[in-house]
Structures are given as C-alpha cells and as structure tokens.
Amino acid sequence: MLNVPPVVTATLLALGLIHAVRVLLLSPRANTDVLLLFAFIPARYDPVVVAQGVPGGIGAQVWTFVSYALIHGDLTHLGVNAVWFLAFGTAVARRFGPVRFAIFFAVTAAAGAAMHLAAHFGEFVPMVGASAAISGCMAAAIRFAFQHGGPLGLWRAHEAHAYHVPAAPLRHALMDARILAFLLVWFGLNLLLGLGSLSLAGEEQEIAWQAHIGGFLAGLLLFPWFDPVGSADDVGAGRGPDTAA
C-alpha cells in the first residue's frame, strides 16, 4: 500500500479528480452532457438512433469504449473500485510497467464494453466505472501470483522478484486448484449479480456484470500479449521475454 506504482496512483488520482469535478463543479445539465459524451451507451450503436444524431458523433462511438471507465456513479462506486484496483492493479502494474499497463487497462475496458454492448444492444442506460478493467487485472494477476516465488506463493525471495516470476501457461493455470477456486467464486458472484440474487449497487444502480466478464476474459486470454517476462514454458525452452504464446 505504501509502494504503489506511479501509474496506479496517477490513475486513481484521475478517477478521483474526474468524480470531484462532476459532483462539485458541474451543473446537473453539464453533468448529463458529460455522460452523453463519455459514458458507454449501447443505443449509440443502433443505426436508427445514429440516423437521428447522437452526441459526439462517430468519435464518441470510439472513445466511449474506454472513457466510460474513468467515470463513476457515486462515491461508493468509486471507493469500491479503488480498493480492488489498488489490490490487483498494483500487482499487474509492477509486472507490466506503466506503458503496457495503461494499454492493458484500455484494452480490457474496451473488451468489457464490447461484451456489455452485445448483451444490451440498443439500450439507452449509460454504463460507467472501471470494473471491467479491474476484472482484467484480476485475471492477469492469477496468471503469475500463485507461481512458485510469486506474490502469493508459499516461498518467495526478494519482493521485487516476486512480480517477475515466469507466468503459468493458461492450460496449467486452469488445472491449479487455487486458480480454479478463484474462478468459480468470481464467476459465481457475477452470475448471482446477473440473476438479481445479489445486489451491491443499491436500488437505482445496476451492475454491468457482462462487462466484468468481458474484461476478465480479455485479461486472462490476452495476458501474454502484454507480459514482458514470459511463461514458464518460454523460460524452459530458452525463449526470451515478449514471446509468450
């Protein structure tokens, strides 16, 4: 907690500043305009709606795949996401470095938006929040956190080295009982959210659980694209970093 990577700190500051400006400085009308321009709204991609004109035009159809992740519904929403982002974003940022991590955040946010769009095409309710990108960080973290010498391993040497152990190849990760337990709990919670059996957002907010799943799957499957260390298979075969498949 006292050694958070600068890219994580900067992201949290940006999220907090954006929320403060919306709540403290903008009028209700201006705040609505911000949501129309930067929140992810599935109806924005409906040809009938597009023909009538939408705020931001084609540009908003592109940038809202990521910009929605920088906006939060209320202070509780922001606070909960900040806690999870500190826990999992920190681990991934220490491994990826700032540039890779920033791109990873954007890609997993976009994957979450794409999954949400597929499930809610044509709907006008805006989606905001960094949960999809945070879910991507959770998925990326489990690829290396449980490895021997890793952050959650029983034995580890130097703290800095713990975040750069070779990653578990996906096929091996999916056979690890600890990772399987994490996956079962995580997907189970999101299923309960989707069925309405569990509520974490209050009466006026719905949780975009499909976006969580989209971000998580992207983080799990695309992890090798961003990992500078490589997997255990790569290290054993003598391949260098950035060659993980």
pLDDT the model gives residue 196: 57
Residues 6+ apart with CB under 8 A from 129: 68, 69, 71, 72, 73, 77, 81, 208
The parent domain of residue 64 ranges over 6-237
For residue 133, tell me if it sits in a domain: yes
Residue 126 inside a domain? The answer is yes
**181 in any annotated domain:** yes
Q: What is the pLDDT of residue 197?
A: 41
Residue 242 lies in a domain: no
Name the burial class of residue 64, with classes exposed (0-12), middle (13-18) and buried (19+) by CB atoms within 10 angstroms of its CB.
buried
The count of structural domains within the chain is 1
Question: 59: domain CATH number?
Answer: 1.20.1540.10
In a domain, 83, yes or no: yes
pLDDT score of 110: 98
User: CA-CA distance, 237 to 234, in Å (whole number)?
Assistant: 5
Query: In the prediction, which pLDDT does 191 show?
Result: 79
Mean pLDDT of each 10-residue bin along the chain, 245 residues long: 87 98 96 96 90 84 97 94 95 96 98 96 94 96 87 60 89 90 88 59 66 96 94 56 36
